[in-house]
Amino acid sequence: MKLSDNLKRIRKENNLSQEQLAEKLGVSRQAVSKWESEQSYPEMDKVLLICKLFNYNIDELMNENVKEVDENKESKNNFNKYIDDFFAFITKTVDMLSSMSMKQRLKCLAEQFIVGIFLASVFLIIGSIAYQALSLEQIMVGGLGRTIIYIVKTVCSLYYIFALIVGIAVLLHVFKIRYLDYYEIVKEDNSELNTTSENDEQISNETIAEDNKKIFIEKKKEKVIIRDPKHSESKFLNGIMKAILWCIKFIIVFVAIGFVFTFISLIALFVLSFLFVKTGLTFVGAIMVIAAGILINFVILEILYNFIISKKSKKGRIAIILIISLILAGIGIGIFCIGITEFNYVKNQEITEETVFEIQMTDNLSINYWNNINYIETEADSIKIVVKHSKYLEAYTSNDDEIVNIGYRQKNDNIMQEIRDSIDDINNKKIRNYYPVVYVYTSKENIEKLIRNEMEKTNI
């Protein structure tokens, strides 16, 4: 690395113009310009002065890359600087508080207390809302459900630890910019040392001792004044903020991964939507909405990626894409709604099967089904349950403490045929009802008991 390049880099890193550097070195601006353009070289005394001013040795300045020298120095002393800065932070805080009046101390502590309470309240509210929204107590899917609950509770614990670290960092930063950066301890020494002439033999030894004692006892005056700082950096706080930033980026990575899967899913949905091209306007509207979703998802991914790598996003281009996406989504939704009005609701009659269950009536028996049950009065004392359902489903019953639960599940051997029939129905603009319908045949007395028992158990 040439001297000219190093000199130029040093000047720029210290925010100095050629004229300002020339003033520090006691030369003209033209001389500095000639050094940087290699038209001439500085004299040795000027080289030594540059080394002294900017903390380099001659070999580093003349032969090495000062940027690499700075980075090496920084990497070697980084940890020590953090430790020193931490203790400097503590020392400055103690000095400031000890020099402040009681009123100023109380004001400072009250401010920090209010800020701390505010931050704690915000984090607790966010955590509580998130926990309640998950409804963890209602997630019961066997072993998988317990695993999900464990994972979510672990994430919540990590959130509160993260919130505590962020809260402390914010509190310290507020304290720094509100007080440490704006207060400075100024010492004034008003003591005057009374010198005596060595030839004055009339001053006794007792008088000299008394004067020395007075000078020794006299204290330096200290006061706290407000200053207008240049916001000097604190490596201790900067280190905490960097750690928090990395934690946020780590979380954002997982959020971005979720949007990656969403982006892939939307592209897959865009391709699959061509299976329904015969639906006309409905297909056009759906394509436009999905395309808008892909664009919005892409913009979100770009913003997250730029945040992770600390790169500025092009706000103008992002705003244009978002506006186009919203317009596209609005037009697509409108076209889709127009197209959906052409669909017809079709009862599931031609592909309906029946499953019959016979059970005996008891005094506390009730029948449970997620939808309405159609009770039909007969003369029989027994109960006949008829479930009408699609040929792609199978009905079943289960008994639980005198409660007959009626359910249905998918037939695995007919999944592909069901998909093909569903595609044909949509292309023919049909909406078919595939949900099972339950009929219960029994006597009037039994119907009244079943309804009464169901209401009592539901209220309980």
The per-residue pLDDT for range 247-299, each reduced to its tens digit, is 888 888 988 999 999 999 999 999 999 999 999 999 999 999 999 999 999 99
Q: Give the HSE-up count for residue 297: Cα atoms under 13 Å, Cβ half-sphere.
A: 19
Task: Give the span between the Cα atoms of 89 and 186, in whole angstroms.
Answer: 17
Residue 65: predicted pLDDT? 63
CB contact at 8 A, 276 and 283 = yes
Domain boundaries, the chain: 3-76, 100-183, 243-342, 352-459
Q: Is 407 helix (H, G, I), strand (E, B) or coil?
A: strand
- Average pLDDT for runs of 10 along the chain of length 460: 76 83 87 86 84 78 60 55 73 79 78 84 80 55 57 77 83 78 51 41 48 42 44 56 79 90 94 92 94 94 90 88 94 93 75 85 88 89 89 86 86 81 88 85 91 79
DSSP character for 141?
A: B
Task: Give the span between the Cα atoms of 434 and 419, in whole angstroms.
Answer: 13
CATH code of the domain occupying 3-76: 1.10.260.40
pTM for the model stands at 0.50
Token pair 């045949």 is found at 441
CB contact at 8 A, 410 and 392 = yes
CA angle 417, 419, 424 (to 5 degrees): 95
In sequence order, which ranges of 224-280 are alpha helices (DSSP H)? 235-272
Model pLDDT for residues 83-120, shown as the tens digit of each residue? 777 777 788 788 777 777 777 777 788 888 888 888 88
| Residue 280 φ/ψ region, left for φ over 0, alpha for ψ in the -120 to 50 degree band, beta for the rest | left
Side by side, the strands of the sheet bearing 366-368 are 366-368, 403-410, 393-399
Residue 112: predicted pLDDT? 83
